[in-house]
Structure 1
């Protein structure tokens, strides 16, 4: 006769380890308490659906292989104002090692170029989802009709590598 105590003998069919799974009384009580607390929290203080959606979307942005392109020039900070220009375009330059992205943000949209030149897929991110999907031509040039509003970043896919710019406010 075995000294092992099968929890199913006293408490019904618990666990998923098959017929050989053995629980001590403390493990079983702890597991039941944890499940009761989860159910109570789900009823009394549920996670709002919008927060759950944002969390899932934010995780989708997680890209382990992406390199972050640092902002090296921003005309709002680094440029000398031009006299007579009432609404100058915002000029941005991002760099990740040998990849350089020059972007001009105007009220008409985005214009830019990826260096070294070559085709690339570009996503304009605003929040957890892509605001627009653009394509750079063989010269690395790209345009977008709608300027981003609020915080935005760019995700570039060139060949086998992914580069994501820092987040900025439009």
Structure 2
């Protein structure tokens, strides 16, 4: 027993008490009874981008959902995105099957697909700057590029 009269974890061994199950049930109850406001979630994601304080932010300069002219007959066209950071451009095509992109000017780069609380998925751009992932981003995502000596982070977008 602790000083406040509550049992400590060592006292619960052999009783069938599952701390992980209790934690999961409490998370689910909190999600239902006190959900996280969407605005707060966006602020948290924006703050997460800042953990690379010396990273440059790549600005979204083209999004086919906003800037493209609709094509008749196209059922599910891929989403085309272009990000710009100084003289570096990143073109991305997002489909239900994955992610395809290129870093311009062409160069090798290490790319991380950031997506919420999960671990970043690493990708590698070849010498021509091309990279691909067979996993499509789900929910909010951003890219963190390590090209040359620079770290560049794109804006967060919803897939």
TM-score with structure 2 setting the length: 0.68
Aligned with 1:140 (options 129, 135, 147) = 129
Is residue 91 of structure 1 aligned with residue 80 of structure 2? yes
**How many residues are paired up?**
118
d(CA) in 2 for partners of 1:105, 1:60: 21
Structure ID, larger Rg: 1
Query: Shift of residue 159 of structure 1?
Result: 1.4
Distance (whole Å) between structure 2 residues aligned to residue 63 and residue 130 of structure 1? 16
| Alignment deviations for residues 123-149 of structure 1 (CA, whole Å, 9 cap, x no partner) | 000014444110000000000010000
* Structure 2 residues not aligned, in runs of 5+: 1-22, 28-43
Q: Distance in 1 between matches of 2:123 and 2:149?
A: 17
Mark the CA change 1:59 to 1:108 in structure 2 (over 3 Å): closer, same or farther. Answer: closer
Check if 1:120 corresponds to 2:86.
no
Q: Is the 8 A contact 1:123 1:130 kept in 2?
A: no
Name structure 1 gaps, 5 residues minimum: 1-47
Higher relative contact order (CA 8 A, sep 6+): 2
Partner residue of 1:106?
95
Q: Quick check: 2:49–2:153 contact (8 Å CA) kept in 1?
A: no
Contact 1:155 1:163 survives alignment (8 Å): yes
Residue 53 of structure 2 corresponds to 64
Equivalent residue of 2:123, what SS? strand
Contact 2:59 2:85 in 1 (8 A): yes
Q: Name the stretch that deviates more: 157-166 or 128-137.
A: 128-137
